[in-house]
Amino acid sequence: MKKVLCIILVLSILFAVSACSGDTTGETGETSGATTTVTTKATTTAVTTTEKVEENPFEEHMEITWLTQYGERHIDGRWDEAELEELFNVDIQVWPQDSLKADQMAALIAAGDIADFFFAPGAPRQPHEMYNEKLTRSVSLDAMKKYLPGQYRLMEAMPIGFTYNLVPGSTDEYLGLTHIGMSSAQYFYEAVCVNLDWLEAIGKEPDMSNFKPVKQTTEGFEYLDDQIFVGEMDYPFDDLNEIMRAFSEDDPDGNGVDDTYGMVYLPESAWTNLIQEGLFGFVQDGNYLYKDLETGNTVPKYAYTGYRDYLEWISTQITKGYMHKLPGEQSWRLEYNALTSLNKVGIMQVHRNAYIMPSNETYAVQPPINILMNSDENARFIVGILFQGPKGNATSATYAIDSYGVGKNRVDMFGAQVSDEKMARILQILEYTTYSNEDNYLKFKSGLEGVHWRWEGEPYLSNRITTPEADLDPKYRGWPSTFSLWVTFSDADNAVMIAEESGYWDFPKYAYANNLYEKYACIPEKYINAVYMGQELFDKYTETHAELWPAISPIVNDFKNRALKGSIANFNTEWAQYIDQIYAAGLEELIEDFYNNPDYKQYDPGDKFKIRGRI
């Protein structure tokens, strides 16, 4: 608040100086009220002037309704809300709904209840549909440039952003504010984790000079320091298969019981790219398309030759017992977390840095931190990019393909009832919370320094140590990000600097330090979305795909299910039959009309790995 008052004072002084900067020829002058007496050697003249009074840009009081996924946990009048209300002369009413929940969003929209500013992934319709139904209004590029200059500056740095979420037919009106994830387009969701003790037991220990020890950033968990190491290895595919065999058959934990597994098969997701699909040159994201060398066509993963080799490998490993299948009685996440917590799985699919968040109820149940906290606090693990596929592949998908995204999951919108004046006020609030300075960005994204977190060492040059939510005064609980935009800046250089200065490493920091994301990112031939296809082609594709997919999907699912059951005797022969079937069922039409269409732009990662700091 003091900083803002200082800024306002400085601006007032500047305006006053500007108002009084006209030329005079007098040698002396005295000012009283609005009359200035100018004395010269020859004459004395009284000049009446009018003082310019700077208008208060927030003089009009406004009520603003606000909807996010944090509504159920929001405390009315909380510290962040109170600051913004005082500074911007507004009354912010945070709606109590959780905008991630489809039932709650469907009820609101059916009733025509649209918040002034909202993020609603659970909404039953997409942003362009809501706009066409006059439930929302657009925001102009000029308004962003004037009232949200930080957003405009980021879009200038990555110009592909100017084409995301445009109102159809427009070049400067947007369906809302696109989420910008500079960092999310640079990192992988997951990493590979291997039991280091087991590797040593079977004689496959890695070169530990390639790894950095992990220290815990949450107070009270220092006893888990130096049990996890992050880094990079290049175990070839034959070694991977031998390690899976040995972990399954050679009693790596030395308990004399045949109760260990090489790895667990997981359904394809953001968890599995590096140690399942990525070994064969593709990723789980169905929007990635690939140039298939056998057919010459641009195809989705289920028609990509690497997918055939992937399923053959999975089938072989499951049949041999080196890859374990979950029971399937509950969600795979619950079953996987429960199984891995017993320390009976040697190679694990893990979140990129959940192991440094032991007090977080979402991450503490995930491997390998669940093992250290529940089974064996002395166990040791390596985490990173560790294995290569049969052709030397080791790829993954960045969390987001670009720094931007389309659809209701990636856009903040404005209700149709919002006036230009109210939109300007909202944009100014968002500029303050997200872009005005680093202190505000941290405060409105992560909470109050000294309350929600503290610096481990020197500010901005050390890690932030988080206070467990259970230890917070109830008035400070709830997610702090309610009033900031979904914007993340590249953390590459800063993360590396912190790690090198403080010794607090995790896999993302190691990967940034060694440019592993650029080295291992899967670059598709094309990517399915309206930005690259064009809205008209994309809409036609969406309609055509919806018509054809019911005929294609049973063939795809049958082939995969038979592979997982070990029922395919000759993959090459049955793959050829499978390809003929899915082409006949409609894939050929999709390829000819869309995937091979020259108007459908190829994907280019551009400079997404080159931007390494705050812009």
Q: What is the pLDDT of residue 43?
A: 38
Do 360 and 407 belong together in one domain? no
Residues in the chain: 615
List the beta bridge partners of residue 212.
Answer: 230
Does a structural domain hold residue 210?
yes
Does a structural domain hold residue 69?
yes
Rounded Cα distance between 80 and 483, Å, is 8
Q: What is the pLDDT of residue 13?
A: 28
Q: What is the tens place of the pLDDT at every residue in 339-389?
A: 999 999 999 999 999 999 999 889 999 999 999 999 999 999 999 999 999
Answer whether 104's CB lies under 8 Å from 73's CB: no
- What is the side-by-side strand order in the sheet with 190-195? 211-213, 228-235, 381-387, 190-195, 345-351, 261-265, 323-325
**Mean pLDDT within 274-283:** 98
Percent of the chain scoring above 70 in pLDDT: 91
Q: What is the tens place of the pLDDT at every residue in 294-328?
A: 999 999 999 999 999 999 999 999 999 999 999 99
Do 302 and 417 belong together in one domain? no
- Residues ≥6 apart with Cβ < 8 Å to 475: 75, 78, 79
Answer whether 193's CB lies under 8 Å from 348's CB: yes
Does a structural domain hold residue 71?
yes
Rounded Cα distance between 316 and 570, Å, is 12
Residue 36: which pLDDT band, with cuts at 50, 70 and 90?
very low
List the beta bridge partners of residue 488.
Answer: 181
**Mean pLDDT within 234-261:** 97
Predicted confidence (pLDDT) at residue 416 exceeds the cutoff of 90: yes
Q: What is the pLDDT of residue 28?
A: 31
Q: What is the CATH number of the domain that holds 271?
A: 3.40.190
**Mean pLDDT within 508-522:** 97
Q: What is the pLDDT of residue 51?
A: 60
Does a structural domain hold residue 606?
no
Predicted confidence (pLDDT) at residue 7 exceeds the cutoff of 60: no
pTM above 0.85, yes or no: no
- Domain closes at, from 459, 485, 507: 507
Per the structure block, which two tokens stand in for 209? Answer: 């000079």
Q: What is the tens place of the pLDDT at every residue in 566-599?
A: 999 999 999 999 999 999 999 999 999 999 999 9
Predicted confidence (pLDDT) at residue 45 exceeds the cutoff of 60: no
Predicted confidence (pLDDT) at residue 259 exceeds the cutoff of 50: yes
Per the structure block, which two tokens stand in for 322? Answer: 């080196």
Containing structural domain, residue 414: 62-184+403-507
Q: What is the pLDDT of residue 435?
A: 96
Percent of the chain scoring above 90 in pLDDT: 78
Cis amide leading into 368 (omega within 30): yes
- Domain closes at, from 353, 382, 411: 382
Do 11 and 89 belong together in one domain? no
Per the structure block, which two tokens stand in for 220? Answer: 């009270």
Do 412 and 496 belong together in one domain? yes
**Mean pLDDT within 92-119:** 96
Do 353 and 212 belong together in one domain? yes
Rounded Cα distance between 397 and 247, Å, is 28
Do 145 and 6 belong together in one domain? no
Q: What is the CATH number of the domain that holds 173?
A: 3.40.190.10
Do 219 and 356 belong together in one domain? yes
Do 147 and 296 belong together in one domain? no
The DSSP letter of residue 265 is E
76 burial via Cβ count (<10 Å: 0-12, 13-18, 19+): exposed
Q: What is the tens place of the pLDDT at every residue in 199-217?
A: 999 999 999 999 999 999 8
State the chain's mean pLDDT as an integer: 90
Predicted confidence (pLDDT) at residue 505 exceeds the cutoff of 90: yes
Predicted confidence (pLDDT) at residue 520 exceeds the cutoff of 60: yes
Q: What is the pLDDT of residue 19?
A: 35
Beta strands in 139-259 (DSSP E): 139-140, 173-174, 177-178, 180-181, 190-195, 211-213, 228-235
Which value, to the nearest 10 degrees, does the dihedral of the CA atoms of residues 102, 107, 108, 110 take? 120
Rounded Cα distance between 188 and 400, Å, is 9
Q: Checking DSSP bridges between strand 90-94 and strand 62-67, what pairing results, if any?
A: parallel
Do 174 and 212 belong together in one domain? no
Does a structural domain hold residue 419?
yes
Do 114 and 74 belong together in one domain? yes
Do 363 and 418 belong together in one domain? no
Distances (CA, A) of 488 to 187, 431, 456, 480, 505: 12, 14, 22, 15, 20
DSSP run (H or E) holding 347: strand 345-351
Residue 530: which pLDDT band, with cuts at 50, 70 and 90?
confident
Does a structural domain hold residue 397?
no
- Residues ≥6 apart with Cβ < 8 Å to 171: none
Answer whether 591's CB lies under 8 Å from 297's CB: yes
Least confident range of 13-17, 142-146, 301-305, 519-523: 13-17
| Total number of domains constituting the chain | 3
**Mean pLDDT within 223-250:** 98
Does a structural domain hold residue 278?
yes
Answer whether 244's CB lies under 8 Å from 321's CB: no
Do 362 and 262 belong together in one domain? yes
> DSSP assignment of 402-419, as one string?
SS---STTSEEEEETT--
- Residues ≥6 apart with Cβ < 8 Å to 136: 114, 127, 130, 175, 176, 413, 414, 415, 416
Does a structural domain hold residue 593?
no
Q: Give φ, ψ of 548 to 5 degrees.
A: -90, -30
Is 534 or 322 the better-scoring residue by pLDDT? 322
- Domain closes at, from 334, 352, 382: 382
- Residues ≥6 apart with Cβ < 8 Å to 128: 167, 168, 175
Residue 53: which pLDDT band, with cuts at 50, 70 and 90?
low
